[in-house]
Chain A
Amino acid sequence: MSPRTRPIPIITDDALTITGGSFSYGDTPALTDVTISVKPGEAMALIGPNGSGKSTLLKGVLGLIPLVEGSMGLGTTAGIGYLPQTEHIDPEFPVTLKQVVMMGRYRKLGLFRFPGSADRAAVREAIASVGLGNVANKRFGSLSGGQQQRGFLARALAAQPSLLLLDEPFNGLDQPNRDALMQTLRQLKAAGVAIIVTTHDLELAREVCDTVLFVNGRQIAFGPKDEVLTLANLQEVFHEFQVEIDEHTVVVPGHEGH
Chain B
Amino acid sequence: MNLLDSFTTAFALPFMGRALLVLIVLSIAAGLIGVFINLRGLEFLTDGLTHAVFPGLAAGFVFGGQGGVLIGALVAAAAATIVLTLMSNNKVTSDATTAIVLTAMFSIGVIIVSASPGRAGGLEQLLFGHLLTVTDSEALITAIVAAIALVLVVLTFRRQVFHAFDPEGSAAAGYRRVSTELVLNVAIALVIVAASNAVGNLLVLAVLIVPGALSRLVTTKLGALFVVAVGSALLASWIGLSLGFNISVVGGVDVPAGATVALSFVLLYSIALIVRVARKGLNA
**Cβ-neighbour of A106 out of B155, B162, B164, B219 (below 8 A):** B162
A95 CB-CB contact with B under 8 Å: yes
Q: A94-B219, A111-B155 are in contact. Are A100 and B172 (CB under 8 A)?
A: no
Q: Mark A96-121, 1 if CB is under 8 A from B, else 0.
A: 10011001101101010000000000
B171 CB-CB contact with A under 8 Å: yes
Interface residues of A in 145-189 (CB under 8 A from B): 152, 155, 159
A side interface size, CB within 8 A: 26
Docked complex Cα distance between A94 and B174 (Å) = 23
Contact present for B162 and A155 (CB under 8 Å) = no
Nearest A residue to B38 via CB reads: A94
Docked complex Cα distance between A90 and B40 (Å) = 10
Contact present for A62 and B172 (CB under 8 Å) = yes
Q: List B contacts of A62 (CB < 8 A).
A: 172
B147 CB-CB contact with A under 8 Å: no
A238 CB-CB contact with B under 8 Å: no
Q: A94-B220, A94-B225, A103-B173 are in contact. Are A109 and B165 (CB under 8 A)?
A: no
Interface residues of B in 161-178 (CB under 8 A from A): 161-162, 164-166, 168-175
A64 CB-CB contact with B under 8 Å: yes
- Cβ distance B74 to chain A, nearest Cβ, rounded Å: 26
Q: Mark A74-91, 1 if CB is under 8 A from B, else 0.
A: 000000001010011110
Contact present for B169 and A152 (CB under 8 Å) = yes
Q: B residues bordering A, Cβ < 8 Å?
A: 39, 155, 158-159, 161-162, 164-166, 168-175, 216, 219-222, 225
Q: List B contacts of A90 (CB < 8 A).
A: 165
**Cβ-neighbour of B166 out of A64, A87, A94, A107 (below 8 A):** A87
Q: List B contacts of A106 (CB < 8 A).
A: 158-159, 162, 173
Q: A94-B216, A95-B222 are in contact. Are A109 and B169 (CB under 8 A)?
A: no
Contact present for A109 and B158 (CB under 8 Å) = yes
Q: A100-B165, A106-B159, A111-B155 are in contact. Are A84 and B172 (CB under 8 A)?
A: yes
**Cβ-neighbour of B169 out of A87, A96, A111 (below 8 A):** A87
A-B contact pairs, 25 of them (CB 8 A): A64-B171, A64-B172, A82-B169, A84-B168, A87-B169, A89-B165, A89-B166, A90-B165, A93-B164, A93-B165, A94-B39, A94-B216, A94-B220, A95-B165, A95-B222, A99-B222, A100-B166, A103-B161, A103-B170, A106-B173, A107-B173, A107-B174, A111-B155, A139-B220, A155-B169
Q: List A contacts of B216 (CB < 8 A).
A: 94
- Cβ distance B217 to chain A, nearest Cβ, rounded Å: 12
- Cβ distance A36 to chain B, nearest Cβ, rounded Å: 20
- Cβ distance A220 to chain B, nearest Cβ, rounded Å: 26
Contact present for A103 and B222 (CB under 8 Å) = no
Max chain A Cβ within 10 angstroms of own Cβ: one of B165, B171, B174: B165
Max chain A Cβ within 10 angstroms of own Cβ: one of B158, B164, B170: B158
Interface residues of A in 36-63 (CB under 8 A from B): 59, 62-63
